[in-house]
Amino acid sequence: MVRWNTLDQIAWKPTEDQTCSSRLYAFLRKHGFDSYESLYRKTVQDVSWFWDAFVKDLNLEWYQSYQKVLDIPAADWKWAKWFSGGKMNLIRNAIDRHIQSTRRNQLAVVWEGEEGKSQKLSYYDLNRAVSQLANGLKALGIKKGDRIGIFMPMTPECVISTLAASKIGAIFVPLFSGYGAQAIASRLNDCEAKLLMTSDGFYRRGKKISMKETADEALALSPTVKHCLVHRRIGDEIPWDEARDLDWGEFLNRFSFHCETEIMDPEDPYMIIYTSGTTGKPKGTVHVHCGFPFKAAMDLAYHFDLKPEDILFWFSDMGWMMGPWEVAGTLTVGSTFFIYDGAPDYPEPDRLWNLIESYGITMLGLSPTVIRAFMKYSLDGVRKRDLSSLRVLGSTGEPWNLEAWNWYFEEIGKKKIPIINYSGGTEISGGILACSFLQSLKPCSFAGPTLGIAADVVNEKGESIEGEVGELVIRKPWVGMTRGFWKDPKRYEETYWSRFSDVWVHGDWVKKDEEGFWFIEGRSDDTIKVAGKRIGPAEVESAFTAHPAVSEAAAIGIPDELKGESIVCFVVLKPNTDPDEKLREELRKTGEKVLGKAVAPQLIRFVREIPKTRNGKVMRRVIRAKYLRLNDLGDLSGLESLGALEAIEKSF
């Protein structure tokens, strides 16, 4: 099946029609550029020009026009301000302007639950639902600047909750639907939330998973929360506090479907989204009305080529960045997005592909981990479905391995549509690196930095390098950068700005080849240094996942008296594969052949599963801490399965 057996081959080139019909090409021609490279240079040489041009290109609306695009106080761009003098609200561009146009009856949100229920909301329907909830929030005393926790599964009500908060100027705090009580409480307490919106539960693999009981435990530890608004997703009996809890349907029926949108400053916060750190408590990244939504919309419009007629489905949870990104970005562009609340391979392995066929989804975003999970199934489930509606594939969350990239490109994309590889982070509001319809692709690669992001690769001295692994940095401000951590500016400065002067250090190891393609090698805090040679865990893992017996792999460095560090690789085998010593030796030799004997792992451990976050990121720091039996495992709130952590101790 594999056609591309190295990372040095061009696997895809845009056709003339794909290029010339794209939004990016229209933007490029409109401003007189003859190539992506010349446009990109302009966007980083004059970031004010670019973001002003973007606002005008998408016809974004303001209550009051801005006088200055970028304001850098005291020449310190870590605290840059955007669109000074303007007045706006995310909702004006995401909903209000659409319902005043022919787009009012266009679908905004399409949803399906695991049990088969479905719902469709036009922009008109969405506006009514958002306005009704916004009125309810005001009746509860929620006002501009107040924080609201949202602990819900991926349902229309979850989407409506985020938008209603923005409409009245409140700040929403998305919480991963799989969090435990302590993780929820720590975030609610850190931001001093006044309200929690939650659900009674959700379905996973045919089972009912309770949320209300978890919410109650969290609220017992969260004294600032005065009300809990509960949506009945599964309809089971649940514990109830009459003094605090409110039934979603009964409560909202009291309120009208009309609510004026609050006029906001562009720099007013609209979301605090927590991201787990390597150590210490989670970081509350602050995002503003003109920041995260603008960056998300730009990336979608120009890099993914999202158009009003498209339907985007990015398989995510609202507690991870890609959930709010999908909502804010898609609605600002004026397109449609699809959300699914359920397991992607239940009740049959072809459930995900059935969704694409049934709803005519045109853009699909999946992590490499999801793809690797599907590769264990028969190809019949994919090949019997009509996936011809797809015109863009997306991926994010972690580095690719070649076999999984090939599978996605060939089996889902039929080698005709691009994989827009996308990497950035919660603090970025989207991508640092991406691809586009104007650039060719190599397997597993990024075509380069996104427009407006002055990305670079540097060595330990902060000097630009090429052809070798280095730190990913950003040298100029962009509109989506976080406005710091909630009530913790010092930690923000220490996290990104303490390494080099006036440079954002993102924490990824990357390599740029001689043709300008970029490859992410993993998190720089995961990097392993064996006998003075630095190697990214992704490079090690790819060497093993290329073996036909291996499904997944995770590599860590452990102390070694002779080499400084040596590598341990944890391997998940494909079904019906015996984890014997013969295979272990075969894998060891494979590692030596691919990586070289000096750095190849000599210790290979077989495990049932690898500790990951819900969005597919391998938690290598946790694996390392568990393997070394350290007392402090760090923040575990994003861990998908405690069983995976136990598997590390029991590896053999």
pLDDT in tens, 51-95: 999 999 999 999 999 999 999 988 899 999 999 999 999 999 999
Asked, for residue 567, whether it belongs to a domain, the answer is: yes
**If we measure between CA atoms, which residue out of 208, 209, 139 comes closest to residue 177?**
209
What are φ and ψ of residue 497, in 5° steps? -120, 0
Percent of the chain with pLDDT over 70: 96
Asked, for residue 611, whether it belongs to a domain, the answer is: yes
E strand or H helix at 42: helix 36-45
Could you write out the DSSP letters of every residue in 241-262? -TTTEEEHHHHHTTS-S--PPP
Measure CA 333 to chain center.
18
Cβ atoms of residues 555 and 568 within 8 Å: yes
Q: Is the pLDDT of residue 415 over 60?
A: yes
H-state helical runs in 89-180:
90-91, 97-99, 123-139, 156-167
State the pLDDT at residue 256: 98
Could you write out the DSSP letters of every residue in 432-447? EEE--TTS-B-TT-B-
pLDDT in tens, 427-476: 999 999 999 999 999 999 999 999 999 999 999 899 999 988 899 999 99
Cβ atoms of residues 451 and 40 within 8 Å: yes
Give the number of other Cβ atoms within 10 Å of residue 9's Cβ: 11
Q: Is the pLDDT of residue 163 over 90?
A: yes
Asked, for residue 555, whether it belongs to a domain, the answer is: yes
Pairing of strands 311-314, 336-341: parallel
pLDDT in tens, 12-34: 999 999 999 999 999 999 999 99
| Separation between Cα atoms, residue 330 and residue 126, nearest integer Å | 14
| Separation between Cα atoms, residue 211 and residue 196, nearest integer Å | 12
Q: Is the pLDDT of residue 192 over 70?
A: yes
| Separation between Cα atoms, residue 623 and residue 395, nearest integer Å | 24
Interval 567-584 mean pLDDT: 93
State the pLDDT at residue 593: 80
Number of H helices and E strands in the chain, helices first, is: 22, 30
Percent of the chain with pLDDT over 90: 77
State the pLDDT at residue 2: 42
Lowest mean pLDDT among 114-118, 385-389, 518-522: 518-522
**If we measure between CA atoms, which residue out of 186, 202, 106, 108 comes closest to residue 152?**
202
**If we measure between CA atoms, which residue out of 482, 457, 483 comes closest to residue 470?**
457
Q: Is the pLDDT of residue 45 over 70?
A: yes
State the pLDDT at residue 166: 98
Asked, for residue 176, whether it belongs to a domain, the answer is: no
pLDDT in tens, 542-558: 889 889 999 999 999 88
| Separation between Cα atoms, residue 540 and residue 549, nearest integer Å | 16
Q: Name the residue type at position 68.
A: K
pLDDT in tens, 133-144: 999 999 999 999
Lowest mean pLDDT among 153-167, 296-310, 393-407, 586-600: 586-600
Could you say which DSSP state residue 450 is in?
P
| Separation between Cα atoms, residue 136 and residue 157, nearest integer Å | 14
Cβ atoms of residues 397 and 370 within 8 Å: no
Tokens representing residue 43 in the block:
């966007």
State the pLDDT at residue 563: 73
What are 550's strand-pairing partners?
Answer: 573
Instruction: State the distance between the two ends of the chain, measured CA to CA, in whole angstroms.
Output: 31
State the pLDDT at residue 532: 56
State the pLDDT at residue 612: 85
State the pLDDT at residue 279: 44
Give the number of other Cβ atoms within 10 Å of residue 37's Cβ: 12
Cβ atoms of residues 623 and 611 within 8 Å: yes
Q: How many domains does the chain have?
A: 1
Asked, for residue 579, whether it belongs to a domain, the answer is: yes
Q: Is the pLDDT of residue 413 over 50?
A: yes
Interval 363-391 mean pLDDT: 93
Predicted TM-score (pTM) of the model is 0.86
What is the domain-level CATH number for residue 594?
Answer: 3.30.300.30
State the pLDDT at residue 272: 98
State the pLDDT at residue 280: 54
Asked, for residue 479, whether it belongs to a domain, the answer is: no
pLDDT band at 181 (very low <50, low <70, confident <90, very high): confident
Q: Is the pLDDT of residue 287 over 90?
A: yes
Asked, for residue 550, whether it belongs to a domain, the answer is: yes
Dump strand ranges (E) for 263-417. 269-275, 283-288, 311-314, 336-341, 363-366, 392-395
**If we measure between CA atoms, which residue out of 286, 255, 254, 294 comes closest to residue 268?**
286
**Domain coverage including residue 640:** 527-649
Measure CA 47 to chain center.
24
**If we measure between CA atoms, which residue out of 330, 355, 331 comes closest to residue 342?**
355
Interval 153-163 mean pLDDT: 98
Asked, for residue 434, whether it belongs to a domain, the answer is: no
Helix, strand, coil percent values for the chain (each to nearest 5): 35, 25, 40
Q: What is the mean pLDDT of the chain?
A: 92
State the pLDDT at residue 278: 43
Interval 519-540 mean pLDDT: 73
State the pLDDT at residue 65: 98
State the pLDDT at residue 6: 61
State the pLDDT at residue 614: 66
pLDDT band at 615 (very low <50, low <70, confident <90, very high): low
Could you write out the DSSP letters of every residue in 610-652? --BBTTS-B-HHHHHHHHTT-S-----TTBS-HHHHHHHHT--
State the pLDDT at residue 179: 80
